[in-house]
A and B are shown apart, each in its own frame.
Chain A
């Protein structure tokens, strides 16, 4: 595709429910990243994929958060038993090979609201 796409664009859920957020990277990009942007916290790194492996998942805030990537392409970020503090915009990015001097290209984000 022309750019990184994410779905849904908006998600409203009730506290305690599970949610899945999807990211489609730019075709041919082997590296994929998830970030979270929340009020008062700025933009924080969550996890990095190289192919289907996640060499750096140190940014995941708790064991309620998990992510997978299949076929070296689509990635899904899953949040179990959502809490109100999980409300944020979740941004996905991809880059050609990962690491410098690659530029990370960002998707439009998924705005998650937990009631």
Chain B
């Protein structure tokens, strides 16, 4: 059974810092890995999707890497801003091609 773990569970940083969120998964037979953002009381917003054949994806201040063989992904946020405060979720799409398996999330607070 696929298990996804995110570290740390919570993170509080001052504005302007660069930071790294970690995600690990137990079964490397995945199609892709996705990072989502969730704001309180809201749904999920997709940030980056990395196909299994890719090593990284970038969008603005966000960069996500994938090392499928070791079962790890990182989300790098550059020059963090208070508006980045949210819960960040990592999810893998299993080879069945239907279900996403999610980690428990990292709750990020960026202090002005």
Contacts and interface: CB of A to CB of B under 8 A. Distances in A.
A55 B32 contact: no
Contact of A48 (B36, B98, B101): B98
B24 to A, nearest CB: 15
Contacts of B100: 33, 35, 45, 104
Interface stretch (A14-22, A71-79, A105-113): A105-113
Interface footprint category on A: 20 to 34
Interface stretch (A60-68, A80-88, A94-102): A94-102
A100 B51 contact: yes
A60 to B, nearest CB: 12
Contacts of A42: 102-105
B97 interface: yes
B60 to A, nearest CB: 17
Contacts of B45: 106
A45 B101 contact: yes
Given A42-B103, A42-B104, A108-B43, A103 B49 contact: yes
Contact of B42 (A4, A105, A108): A108
A100 B97 contact: yes
A56 B97 CA distance: 10
Interface of A: 4, 31, 33, 35, 42-45, 48, 55-56, 59, 91, 93, 98-101, 103-109, 111
26 contacts: A4-B43, A33-B98, A42-B103, A42-B104, A43-B91, A43-B102, A45-B98, A45-B101, A48-B99, A56-B98, A56-B99, A93-B44, A99-B97, A100-B31, A100-B97, A101-B31, A101-B32, A101-B49, A101-B51, A103-B34, A104-B100, A106-B36, A108-B41, A108-B43, A109-B42, A111-B41
Interface of B: 31-32, 34, 36, 41-46, 49, 51, 89, 91, 93, 96-105
